Structure 1
């Protein structure tokens, strides 16, 4: 078992990464149904929470069926981070996570996310401010460093542990890499081998198959894996990895029926959460992901994008199912 404060997770848990415009409640619900052990909200601006920004507040929505679930915050001001942690505490998540890894320019330019990698002292102060302001377990997600010439994850891990965080997730790239190049998990392995590191260390980066998950588990000896892009449009990855761990066998990929069911559930839950119009607009970014690699889906994509009601969605799902059911194509 893996412990994060009072939270008990299975041996070698699989975590769903916090992803902007992806890790919302409907998507998290699908991933939970397929085996995700711990999930996080989309990242939330501490300043946005304090200003009572509607978009930021909406990201605080969590539901009991998701538990354990964490809310992730980011920011570069100690007072704002402390206050936002107290706001987060009011919705009673299971933990608070701090984002010190987001590489996008609009976040970094505010001295937040991966921008803090240039100033470990500031990172420590921000983390202390959050830890001291909440009774919830605090975790951190970060990167190896700003660039290949300033990899500082060893010092970061040690100093953040001293602030009282209960777990650390390491995306095995630098900020300069963004999401390009190969993630270097050797750094994660080195952190795990440090006898002074006692908190759970989760690895993140490039895990997109059961085979790779098992390879990384055995080779780098981390306490669990966080999956981000590998789960987009493919919530089945959690179930497939667990099955492979247990049996050494690969599950067959999702059928057309299972893909369409996922789209239907995702759309239904999105509408429940945001209303019909907004919920179906939110869905537009997901259709291609659910049918990635399926031949001739482009012919249906335009029709899905034009769906404006759940009834139209059901009709389009029926038409798509009928086409593939009667198609001689090998779509496995």
Structure 2
């Protein structure tokens, strides 16, 4: 069992990574249904929270069926981050997670996300303020360092553990790498194997098959793994990894019915959370992912992304079910 404060997770838990414009409640619901052990909100701007911005406040929504769930915050100002931790705590998550890993320009170049890897004293001061501002466990997601010459995650892990964080997730790339090249898990393993480190260490980066998940578990010894992009349109990755780790057997890919069920669930949750207009529009980017590899799906996708009536969308999905019954997706 893996323990994060008062949160008990199974051995070798699978975490859904916080992804901007992806990890919203509808998407999380589908991942949870397929085996994700712990999840996080999209990252939320501390400045947006303290200004009471509607978009930021909406991202605070968490639901009981998602638990355990963490709210992830980011920002460059220590007092704003402290205040946003207080606001986030009131939303009722199970933990608060700090983003020290986002590499995108409009975050890192404003002194937030991965930019804090260039100012460890400020990172430590900010983290300490957040730990003191909440009764919830505080965790961190970060990267190996800013660039190849400043891979300082070992120091980061020790110093943040010393001021009270309860777990650390490490993406195996530097900020400069963005999402290019291969994730380097050797340095993640170095952090995990550091005798000073007592908190759970989760690895993140490039886990896209059950075989790789088990290989990295055995090779690098991390407490669990965080899966991001591989879950987009394919929430079954969680159940497949769990089954392979437990039995060594590869599960059959999802059936057409399972794809349709996941898509319908995602759509229904999207309508419930975002309303009929936004729920329809924001679902459009997911259809191609759910039905990836199905031959002759393109005409149905074209219709799905152009109609506005939810009833019509459900009807098109039913057409897909009838027309493609017995058709296997091309892996």
Scaled by the length of structure 2, the TM-score of the pair is 0.98
1:54-73 map, 5 Å: 54-73=54-73
Consecutive aligned runs of 4 or more in structure 1 exceeding 4 Å deviation? 329-332
Flag structure 1 segments of 5+ consecutive residues without an equivalent. none
1:134-145 map, 5 Å: 134-145=134-145
Aligned partner of residue 35 in structure 2, secondary structure: coil
How far apart, in 2, do the equivalents of 1:186 and 1:330 lie?
Answer: 35
Does residue 229 of structure 1 match 2:226?
no
Aligned partner of residue 133 in structure 2, secondary structure: coil
Other-structure match for 1:169? 169
Range that drifts further, 116-125 or 94-103:
116-125
How far apart, in 2, do the equivalents of 1:323 and 1:102 lie?
Answer: 42
How far apart, in 2, do the equivalents of 1:326 and 1:104 lie?
Answer: 42
Cα distance change on mapping 1:235 and 1:65 into 2, 3 Å: same
Residue 331 of structure 1: how far off its partner (Å): 4.9
1:24-63 map, 5 Å: 24-63=24-63
1:15-30 map, 5 Å: 15-30=15-30
1:276-291 map, 5 Å: 276-291=276-291
Contact 2:292-2:329 within 8 A present in 1 as well? no
How far apart, in 2, do the equivalents of 1:44 and 1:203 lie?
Answer: 22
Residue 135 of structure 1: how far off its partner (Å): 0.6
How far apart, in 2, do the equivalents of 1:183 and 1:331 lie?
Answer: 27
When the two structures are aligned, how many residues end up with a matched partner? Answer: 331
Contact 2:294-2:329 within 8 A present in 1 as well? no
Cα distance change on mapping 1:3 and 1:255 into 2, 3 Å: same
Other-structure match for 1:132? 132
How far apart, in 2, do the equivalents of 1:280 and 1:238 lie?
Answer: 26
1:93-132 CA distance string (max 9 Å, x none): 0000000000010101210001111111111111111101
Contact 1:268-1:310 within 8 A present in 2 as well? no
Other-structure match for 1:160? 160
1:38-57 CA distance string (max 9 Å, x none): 00000000000000000000
1:243-322 map, 5 Å: 243-322=243-322
How far apart, in 1, do the equivalents of 2:258 and 2:292 lie?
Answer: 14
1:279-300 CA distance string (max 9 Å, x none): 1111011111112222222222
Other-structure match for 1:122? 122
Q: Report the aligned-residue RMSD.
A: 1.1
Other-structure match for 1:97? 97
How far apart, in 1, do the equivalents of 2:272 and 2:297 lie?
Answer: 26
Does residue 215 of structure 1 match 2:215?
yes
